[in-house]
């Protein structure tokens, strides 16, 4: 199972909005509602930010939102803040009853 495709890096200025894409196939991202997004700071465990494509866990800022179009999912962060600088990973259930992650995107807040 190949990893989902994410941009290696994205950047934005405080207050701006950015979107991180996550491209897969109809056998994963496009075929199931089990798409999630995680935030990870260096040396720390990942944190769940979005699950089931669009749902936000309790306690996660509403500046974070998820969406999907076809085989590509997206994470949008609005009102960018310095604390948002981190690595972001998408994941999806697959038709092989496995889970696949994206390669990760490093977000830089300028």
How far apart (Å, rounded) are the C-alpha atoms in residues 72 and 30?
Answer: 7
- Of 19, 21, 48, 61, the residue at the interface with another protein (CB under 8 A) is 48
Segment holding 108, helix H or strand E:
strand 105-109
- In angstroms, what is the minimal distance from the CB of 100 to another protein? 7
Q: According to the binding rule CB under 8 A, does residue 102 interact with another protein?
A: yes
Q: According to the binding rule CB under 8 A, does residue 74 interact with another protein?
A: no
Q: According to the binding rule CB under 8 A, does residue 64 interact with another protein?
A: no
How far apart (Å, rounded) are the C-alpha atoms in residues 40 and 106?
Answer: 10
Q: According to the binding rule CB under 8 A, does residue 24 interact with another protein?
A: no
Q: According to the binding rule CB under 8 A, does residue 3 interact with another protein?
A: yes
Radius of gyration, alpha carbons of the chain: 13
How far apart (Å, rounded) are the C-alpha atoms in residues 47 and 2?
Answer: 23
- In angstroms, what is the minimal distance from the CB of 72 to another protein? 18
Q: Judged by CB under 8 A, how many residues of this single chain contact another protein?
A: 27
Q: According to the binding rule CB under 8 A, does residue 47 interact with another protein?
A: yes
Count the Cβ atoms, other than its own, within 10 Å of residue 101.
Answer: 16
Q: According to the binding rule CB under 8 A, does residue 100 interact with another protein?
A: yes
């Amino acid at each position: 199972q190949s990893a989902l495709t994410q941009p290696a890096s994205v950047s934005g200025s405080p207050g701006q909005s950015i979107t991180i894409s996550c491209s897969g196939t109809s056998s994963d991202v496009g075929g199931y509602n089990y798409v999630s997004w995680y935030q990870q700071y260096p040396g720390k465990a990942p944190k769940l930010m979005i699950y089931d494509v669009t749902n936000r866990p309790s306690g996660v800022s509403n500046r974070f939102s998820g969406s999907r179009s076809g085989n590509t999912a997206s994470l949008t962060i609005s009102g960018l803040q310095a604390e948002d600088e981190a690595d972001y990973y998408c994941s999806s259930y697959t038709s092989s009853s496995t889970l696949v992650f994206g390669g990760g995107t490093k977000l830089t807040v300028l």
